[in-house]
Chains A and B, each alone.
Chain A
Amino acid sequence: MEQLIEQLKAQIIEALNFEDMTPADIDTDAPLFGEGLGLDSIDALELIMLMDREYGIKLADPKAGKAIFQSVRTMAEYIQANRTK
């Protein structure tokens, strides 16, 4: 799980173009939206694309995104349970 979390942080940085940020700068349990990383709705779409592209996960229910994208840890847990690649 820890390896997946670190990999996911690097992928988030690349997908969202946070080029001066390192994985160590992202708190695993901090909120991704609002506080914490302060992501917006466009970033949410990027994260959905990232999960599809890298892990073969298609989010069929947009409402589920709120729980999945609470933090990097909740994302990683969902990916581990649902990844197809």
Chain B
Amino acid sequence: MVHNGQPIAVEATGEKMLVELYRRFAGDYPKFFKMDTLSRLGFIAAEILLKEPIPSDRASRQRIANSQKPTAIILANRSASIKNDTDYMATISDGKYYPSPALFVYTLPNIVTGEIAIRHQMQGETSFYILDKPEDLEPILLSTFHTASADRKNIQPSTSALAGWCECSDANTFYAKIQIIWNN
């Protein structure tokens, strides 16, 4: 666990690690406990990342202050929402057909972007991509800051984006690396 190059010690392992980090870095958002593991992972990563004002230089801070344009949220991973999909499937198997609505609402990976947007009131575009590797996200991020394509010409380009890799393949295997990128 690293934030801005500084390691953060955690005692718990697996999914419990996210609960420990929630209590340490948030603690005021009970909806966290309703989220699936992927959403918890993205939520906690964003909480830690956004704890401090991100830009360190005056020009960036001024650009934010003057900007009415929204911040985008663009995440990607390789396994989509497979962990939650599996959990949901377990509720409709073995002859006990009691599908869980609370699990069902998280059977899409892009829900995590919505959870972050709601929490931090980010009103820019949100999107979630299923990619082979984190490097594949780079050209997508570049397009976020342009208005060249026809379907985007009436949309204000974002001035910044919370972006990165947010991967969860099972309860004990997850990884997130997110950052704020700016349109210079």
Contacts and interface: CB of A to CB of B under 8 A. Distances in A.
B105 A42 contact: yes
Interface residues of A, number: 14
Contacts of A18: 30, 33
B102 interface: yes
A49 B100 contact: yes
A17 B102 contact: yes
Contact of B100 (A19, A38, A46): A46
A53 interface: yes
Contacts of B98: 49, 52-53
B139 interface: no
Contacts of B34: 16-17, 42-43
Nearest to B35: A17
Interface in B1-51: 19, 30, 33-34
B95 interface: no
A16 to B, nearest CB: 7
B102 A43 contact: yes
A19 B33 CA distance: 7
A42 B30 contact: no
Nearest to B96: A53
Contacts of A43: 34, 102
Interface in B60-119: 96, 98-102, 105
Contacts of B96: 53
A42 B33 contact: no
A16 B34 CA distance: 7
A20 interface: yes
A45 interface: yes
Contacts of A46: 100-102
Interface of B: 19, 30, 33-34, 96, 98-102, 105
Given A20-B19, A49-B101, A53-B98, 8 more contacts: A15-B102, A17-B34, A38-B30, A42-B34, A42-B101, A42-B105, A43-B102, A46-B102
11 contacts: A15-B102, A17-B33, A17-B34, A19-B19, A20-B33, A42-B34, A42-B101, A42-B105, A49-B98, A49-B100, A52-B98
